[in-house]
Chains A and B, each alone.
Chain A
């Protein structure tokens, strides 16, 4: 158990819909990362927050957005969903955004868009 929690574990929804994925980092970790894992694209970095502020953006679509709240939990919002958005979405946390700090991964949310 990494200490990072993600809800829900599974999500099935239809095209065009909007969903919210939630992540609670390990106690004491200030930095949160979101990654998408799909069969064709592999593991891709989406976005990073540090202490409530957006720190870096990766291959995140404009239809996706995220935020980190004062209690440090984070939410990833996916809208106008397409079939291609079906993937496993991971949240990871680290104590600091520095390069050499270990990122602890949650169990993921599996999103299926039908």
Chain B
């Protein structure tokens, strides 16, 4: 079975500060990992994904994440937060018993203050 744990349901940063959202996964097979962002009253938008190859993955809006197999982690970072980054962020792993549905973490709400 696969699972995702997002540490911290709410993270607050100041504008210009480093953003770090934590994600740990559990998987018995090589995982495919994703970060999605959800803005209020909107659907989910893919920020980035790790499938194979380079472990440092760059995504949209200046976000990046590093796959660390030894730590079973896939933390999301952004060097400098912007007010527009305020949203809910979901880490997900794909692979399911019979299909390829996404298994999501509980989500982390990012607040950015000026």
CB-defined contacts of A4 to chain B, threshold 8 Å: 43
CB contact between A99 and one of B41, B42, B95, B107 (< 8 Å): that residue: B95
A-B contact list, 29 entries, CB within 8 Å: A2-B43, A2-B45, A33-B102, A35-B101, A42-B104, A42-B105, A43-B102, A45-B96, A45-B103, A48-B99, A48-B101, A56-B96, A56-B98, A56-B100, A58-B96, A92-B102, A99-B32, A99-B95, A99-B100, A100-B49, A100-B94, A102-B46, A103-B46, A103-B102, A105-B36, A105-B43, A105-B45, A107-B41, A107-B42
Convert B46-72 into 0s and 1s, putting 1 for each residue whose CB lies closer than 8 angstroms to a CB of A. Answer: 100101000000000000000000000
Nearest chain B CB to A60's CB is how many angstroms away? 11
- Size category of the B interface is 20 to 34
Cα-based distance from A92 to B38 in the complex (angstroms): 14
